[in-house]
Amino acid sequence: MKFRNFALLLLSCAKLLPACVQAQAAHEFRLANGMKIIVREDHRAPTVVHMVWYRAGSMDETSGTTGVAHVLEHMMFKGTKTLKPGEFSRKVAALGGRENAFTGKDYTAYYQQIDSAKLGEVMALEADRMNNLVLDEKEFAPEIKVVMEERRLRTEDRAASLLDESLHATAFAAHPYRWPIIGWMSDLQQMTAHDAQDWYRRWYAPNNATMVVVGDVTPAQVHALAKQHFGGIAARPLPLPRPQTEPQQRGIRRVLVKAPAENPAVILAFKVPALRDIEHDDDAYALDVLDAILDGYDNARLNAKLVRTDKIAHSVNANYDGLVRGPALFTVAGTPAKGISTLELEKRLRAEIERIANDGVTASELQRVKTQLVAAQVFKRDSVFGQAMEIGSMEMAGVKHSDIDRIISRLKAVTPQQVQAVARKYFGDDALTIATLAPQPLPAKTNPPAVKTKH
Amino acid sequence: MKRLLALLLILSANLTHAALPIQTWTLPNGARVLYVEHRGIPVIDLSIEFDAGSRRDPLRKSGLAALTNGLLASGVAASATEAALNEAQLSDAFADTAAQRHMGVSADRAGIALRALSSQPESDAAIRLTARLLAQPAFPEALLMREKTRTIAALKEAETKPNVIASKAFMRAIYGHHPYANSPTAESLDAITRTDLITFHRTHYVASRAVVSIVGDVSRERAGQIAKQLTGHLPPGNGEALPALPEVPPMPAAEQRIAHPASQAHILLGAPAAVRGDPDFFALTVGNYVLGGGGFVSRLMHEVREKRGLSYSVGSSFSPMKQAGPFTIGLQTKKEQANEALKVTRDVLTSFLKDGPTDDEIKAAKDNLIGGFSLRIDNNRKILSNVALIGFYGLPLDYLDTWTVNIAKVSADDIRAAFGRKIAAEQLATVIVGAPE
């Protein structure tokens, strides 16, 4: 989640957008069992999105059972004490709802999008599986195979995913960000229903959950429904936190990945601060602005210089995500043009950051980036789903959704000098990891496809 | 049964009013305008589309439609009153208006979508830029060369991916020599010249065939001005219809196995099936929900994924187009079990075609489709995509208003008959990339 997805809206509204109607502030409650409820009213359509976020993701796993957070997410659709496997989805579908779930490094979340009159019914279903999940061996056996197919589809057969996986496994030695959310294949092969059960018992408690509801509802309605459906679930002690802090990196790290592909690629990942303390982590704001100046729109610096003007890359990007529970990375990456080595592209990507370190950024560049940030906050309000995603992921990262006004003013106050200062401070060799893709030709290319015609 | 009848009565009582009031008019230059007022956030979403998709690519120049569309943003020529803008100036000018611009090309359609703040200085500037980019593209030679190089590199990358190889082979298998089967190659891209772009633009991006859709925080009066402004400088068109494209030819059923080193096999089955506006559409929609369209609750999902763990994703879909668009079943599975997964998939399809859905399945499908209708139009972006679809394909203006009623009317017999007309199990093409050796 990037700051550029945050609300710069509120403060700038009056000045930039005379017609602007401010987003409803979100309301927050806490049930007696510790479950947090956040509601934002949006009455543009008679629909609602209901999400339940658990603060448990792949970073809470341990070696040997990597991927278990995500496996449990799959198993949450497989029945409770009163619901047969698959019945959860059938019931949501019968109500006209759409549903799914997602697992991240920092969290696992479940959602339904539905006619707002049906909110109570999906809440009842969600509460049931928070407390009454049945983990059956018979259901686990095919589902773990589904997860292995998912890993094949999304990682094993995708060069870009393999590169990213190796990058993280190299950049982090101790912190669990070193393993992929979906887990290592051998851990999946060894995983049992008991592992999933254990995970469920440890983390799926109301005091580890945050409900986010955005749509055609009132806070009072949602509060009453939440109390009715989740209020009876008892709080449980949560596992002791094990920070598994990443030790300081003391020198450049490189990893080479060979995989079937046509074009080479390179990713440079610099360890930089995350946003933890919204008052004092000034550098996180400046890094986010730097990210936007490098890659915030189609004529931003990286694309303008390396792809459009100098034509030494086919594509480039920058990415900084400061809203994370674990350590943050600032990445720049690209695919070199024919005849340009990944080493050369590496130098040119770093040269663009050095240019900012040496010469700074212009006031008009900074203004353009801020205009984009402001508008994105208005556009975001077209989607209740997007709004719920933002609230949930902020909360999981440990930043209160209500701090958004403050974050906005901090971002708006970033100066060219601050951007230049972070460009100077964080982009040396010592906390840098570089992952390079060495493309391997497809062996099948030499053989014409075998075609069998059947009548 | 009683419950169902009661439900239908309630629904039809509620749905006699318009789900979405669409206003439409035609400009003197022939452009068609569709407009939905939707206030609440200070945003305008709009699109302008033409019959300029890849099916209009000339022979041996596949990729021309996409390059023409993409290069509209590579600079605009000077006009009597305004100076030329190069690529960087155009990008910066757009960024300063805060608008988001999306270029888009499918087989049938091509155009631009714009999302702008509705406050007037910002949206006026964004719309003026969009109008210039549509009407006065500079198509600089050097940028065409650069984009051809990048497109060829991306194409070669894509052609190493099993899903892309499968999808191209599948379209060739079901469309033969019809333009829907064509996709760019390094040679076809190489053959494209600046003159080709200019000609394609002059022929296809014309006012008389433009469909302008406008949704959001905007009055009818201003929508009228926006539509005029967007189409005002376009070539008028010579008034003649575009040449008819060949019929979709009947293709023999074929199974194609293509070697690939990936760990999974990518499997596609299907055939050309339905045009947009086909009277069977609602029966196919309800039936397909049961077969493989209904998320986690379809027959394919149940048999292939839930019961046997053979695939992460499996499903079926109809994609109606100007000419018969494809019916497709797709899945991926560990190479060694590809034959098993294919057999399960074929068995599900065969039994569905033979017996059709049960009454319970039809009820479940209707409950979801009707009960979830409001989710199809609950924001600007979704409304725009529906309105643009209605405009481009000439669907009735009450298409959305009558959607749930038309779904409710579908019977088991309708579904069997519709599938019988559109799908013959023994006529399907099958493509397996990464098949077991």
Q: What whole-number percentage of chain B has pLDDT above 70?
A: 96
B384 CB neighbours in chain A (<8 A) are none
State whether B374 and A335 contact (CB < 8 Å): no
Q: What is the distance between the alpha carbons of residues A62 and B127, in angstroms, rounded to a whole number?
A: 54
Q: What are B346-385's pLDDT values in tens digits? A: 999 999 999 999 999 999 999 999 999 999 999 999 999 9
Q: What is the distance between the alpha carbons of residues B159 and B259, in angstroms, rounded to a whole number?
A: 13
From B427, B21, B260, B270, select the one nearest A157 (Cα to Cα): B260
Q: Report the pLDDT averaged over residues B135-151.
A: 97
State whether B43 and A143 contact (CB < 8 Å): no
State whether A451 and B257 contact (CB < 8 Å): yes
Token pair for residue B188?
């076809």
Bridge pairing between strands B32-37 and B211-216: parallel
> Mind giving me the DSSP string for A213-275?
EEES--HHHHHHHHHHHHTTSPP-PPPPP---PPPPP-S-EEEEEEEE-SS-EEEEEEEE---
State whether A450 and B306 contact (CB < 8 Å): no
- CB interface of B with A, residues 379-398, below 8 Å: 379-381
- CB interface of A with B, residues 155-194, below 8 Å: 156-158
State whether A96 and B371 contact (CB < 8 Å): yes
Residue ranges, CATH 3.30.830.10, chain B: 22-239, 255-433
Nearest residue on chain B to A13, judged by CA atoms? B42
Q: Which CATH number fits domain B22-239: 3.90.1150.10, 3.10.180.10, 3.40.640.10, 3.30.830.10?
A: 3.30.830.10
State the smallest CA–CA distance between residue A90 and chain B in angstroms.
6
Q: What are B31-72's pLDDT values in tens digits? A: 999 999 999 999 999 999 999 999 999 999 999 999 999 999
Q: What is the distance between the alpha carbons of residues B130 and B72, in angstroms, rounded to a whole number?
A: 10
Q: Tell how far CA B408 is from the center of its chain.
A: 25
- CB interface of B with A, residues 185-204, below 8 Å: none
Facing B150 at nearest CB: one of A95, A314, A451: A314
DSSP state of B321: B
- CB interface of A with B, residues 295-314, below 8 Å: 297-299, 304, 307-308, 311, 314
Token pair for residue A89?
């989805």
A70: which residues sit within 8 A by CB, 6+ positions away? A58, A103, A108, A147, A181, A182, A183
A383 CB neighbours in chain B (<8 A) are 379, 381
Q: What kind of architecture, by CATH, is found in domain B255-433?
A: 2-Layer Sandwich (3.30)
Q: Tell how far CA B333 is from the center of its chain.
A: 27
Mean model confidence pLDDT for chain B: 93
Return the residue in B301, B363, B378 with the most chain A beta carbons within 10 A, the one to mutate for interface testing: B378
* CA-based R_g, chain A, Å: 24
From A30, A76, A51, A70, select the one nearest A207 (Cα to Cα): A30
Q: What are B159-191's pLDDT values in tens digits? A: 999 999 999 999 999 999 999 999 999 999 999
Do residues B122 and B99 make contact, with C-beta atoms less than 8 angstroms apart? Answer: yes
Bridge pairing between strands A209-215 and A47-54: antiparallel
Q: Give residue A444's pLDDT.
A: 55
Task: Calculate the CA dihedral of residues A165, A166, A167, A168 and round it to 10 degrees.
Answer: 60
State whether A18 and B119 contact (CB < 8 Å): yes
Specify the 3-state DSSP secondary structure of A147. helix
From B281, B111, B106, B239, select the one nearest B179 (Cα to Cα): B106
From A335, A157, A182, A162, select the one nearest A257 (Cα to Cα): A162
- CB interface of A with B, residues 400-429, below 8 Å: none
Q: What are A16-72's pLDDT values in tens digits? A: 333 334 567 899 999 999 999 999 999 999 999 999 999 999 999 999 999 999 999
Nearest residue on chain B to A159, judged by CA atoms? B161
CB atoms within 10 A of CB A220: 11
State the smallest CA–CA distance between residue A248 and chain B in angstroms.
37
Q: What are B408-433's pLDDT values in tens digits? A: 999 999 999 999 999 988 889 999 99
A333 DSSP β-pair partners: A267, A317
DSSP state of B251: -
Facing A17 at nearest CB: one of B99, B117, B154: B117
Check if A73 is active-site: yes
| Catalytic residue chosen out of the listed positions A28, A41, A61, A73 | A73
- What's the pTM? 0.93
Q: Tell how far CA A3 is from the center of its chain.
A: 12
State the smallest CA–CA distance between residue A261 and chain B in angstroms.
6
Do residues A26 and A384 make contact, with C-beta atoms less than 8 angstroms apart? Answer: no
State whether A382 and B96 contact (CB < 8 Å): no
State the smallest CA–CA distance between residue B369 and chain A in angstroms.
6
Return the residue in A154, A299, A384 with the most chain B beta carbons within 10 A, the one to mutate for interface testing: A299
A63: which residues sit within 8 A by CB, 6+ positions away? A179
State whether B261 and A315 contact (CB < 8 Å): no
Q: Give residue A189's pLDDT.
A: 98
State the smallest CA–CA distance between residue B242 and chain A in angstroms.
34
A213 DSSP β-pair partners: A39, A50
Nearest residue on chain B to A303, judged by CA atoms? B88
Specify the 3-state DSSP secondary structure of B122. helix
Distances (CA, A) of B212 to B228, B384, B391: 10, 10, 8
Facing B374 at nearest CB: one of A46, A99, A451: A46
Return the residue in B263, B369, B430 with the most chain A beta carbons within 10 A, the one to mutate for interface testing: B263
Do residues A286 and A184 make contact, with C-beta atoms less than 8 angstroms apart? Answer: no
Residue A240 contacts B, CB cutoff 8 Å: no
Bridge pairing between strands A36-41 and A209-215: parallel
From A140, A264, A124, A149, select the one nearest A193 (Cα to Cα): A140
Q: What is the distance between the alpha carbons of residues A328 and B31, in angstroms, rounded to a whole number?
A: 51
- CB interface of A with B, residues 376-405, below 8 Å: 378-379, 381-384
State whether B41 and A44 contact (CB < 8 Å): yes
B360 CB neighbours in chain A (<8 A) are none
A125 CB neighbours in chain B (<8 A) are none
Q: Give residue A26's pLDDT.
A: 93
Q: What is the distance between the alpha carbons of residues A297 and A267, in angstroms, rounded to a whole number?
A: 20
Do residues A79 and A134 make contact, with C-beta atoms less than 8 angstroms apart? Answer: yes
Facing B87 at nearest CB: one of A89, A308, A371: A308
Residue A443 contacts B, CB cutoff 8 Å: yes
Residues of chain A with pLDDT under 50: 1-21, 445-455
Specify the 3-state DSSP secondary structure of A434. strand
pLDDT at B193 over 80: yes
Q: Give residue B153's pLDDT.
A: 97
A110 DSSP β-pair partners: A52, A101
- CB interface of A with B, residues 75-134, below 8 Å: 77, 85-86, 89-90, 93-99, 113-115, 118
Q: What are B282-332's pLDDT values in tens digits? A: 999 999 999 999 888 999 999 999 999 999 999 999 999 999 999 999 999
B16: which residues sit within 8 A by CB, 6+ positions away? none
Q: Give residue A446's pLDDT.
A: 39
Q: Give residue B410's pLDDT.
A: 98
Residue B374 contacts A, CB cutoff 8 Å: yes
CB atoms within 10 A of CB A30: 12
Q: Tell how far CA B329 is from the center of its chain.
A: 17
